[in-house]
Amino acid sequence: MTHRQFLETGVARLEYRLTRPAHSTGPVLVLLHEGLGSLDLWKDFPAQLAEAGATPVLAYSRQGYGRSSPIALPRSLDYLGVDGPDELARVLDGLGLEQVLLVGHSDGASIALAYAARQDPRVRGVVVLAPHVDVEPASVEGVRRTVGAYARGDLRERLRAYHGDNLDGAFRGWSETWLNPAFADWNLYPELPRIRVPLLAIQGQEDEFATPAQLETIAREVAGPCRTVLLEHCRHFPQNQARPRVLALIAEFLAALPG
């Protein structure tokens, strides 16, 4: 596996790993993790995705996660639509990436959609897993359940190995934002019609943080070609709970991208 590296963006020091399989071609797949995720929490998914797509895969921990620089709390209520995409732009610039395909999960999916709406010509397409384009009651309830698990200590201990000193900041930055009553009005409705690149949206039918309305809204509002897939017997982590199908779908999507 490629070693962990660090990128100085001028704002933060971010950990990243770029996996390049032999004879890789095509755009770099840039992975954007969920609200409690990190570089290491992708585990072996980046390596398997690189092999399945025969393309380089970049994964990094956003500021406040993993071994990246800490972040001040509270997070801005615009962190998905503004802060995350701004940071992504600094990553693309800092690593000199010219052609990319964004692959975001949950919070990372929201960031990927918001960035695609900026119409950066480097972005060839977008894949979103368990996306959020607004705040549903199911989302808030899922966060509340997660807060309970964290308070009991079991989830906290599992996450400690991945976030180290960033643990409490990462958890509070995510949970306190989603449970803030002012965040209930957050959405990506203005951004979706500005997305013109090909889009693949994947969700588990049993997603405990969202309903299929997320896929319906995306398909209805984006301007570019869009395919949505609702996976049976799958919850909020399609890349783990339905990995063979997800790898195949992304490989198909890559192969069909315009040249």
Q: Which domain holds residue 44?
A: 5-255
Q: Give whole-number Cα distances, 243 to 45, 141, 222, 239, 249, in Å.
A: 8, 26, 26, 5, 10
In terms of Cα–Cα distance, which of 188, 131, 175 is closest to 149? 175
Q: Which domain CATH number covers 102?
A: 3.40.50.1820
Number of domains in the chain: 1
Considering the entire predicted model, what is its pTM? Answer: 0.97
Encode the chain (259 residues) as per-residue pLDDT tens digits.
578 999 999 999 999 999 998 877 789 999 999 999 999 999 999 999 999 999 999 999 999 999 999 999 999 999 999 999 999 999 999 999 999 999 999 999 999 999 999 999 999 999 999 999 999 999 999 999 999 999 998 899 999 999 999 999 999 999 999 999 999 999 999 999 999 999 999 999 999 999 999 999 999 999 999 999 999 999 999 999 999 999 999 999 999 998 7
Query: How far is 203 from 139, CA to CA, in rounded Å?
Result: 14
Sign of the C-alpha dihedral, residues 174, 146, 14, 253? Answer: negative
- Give the containing element (helix H, strand E) for 76: none
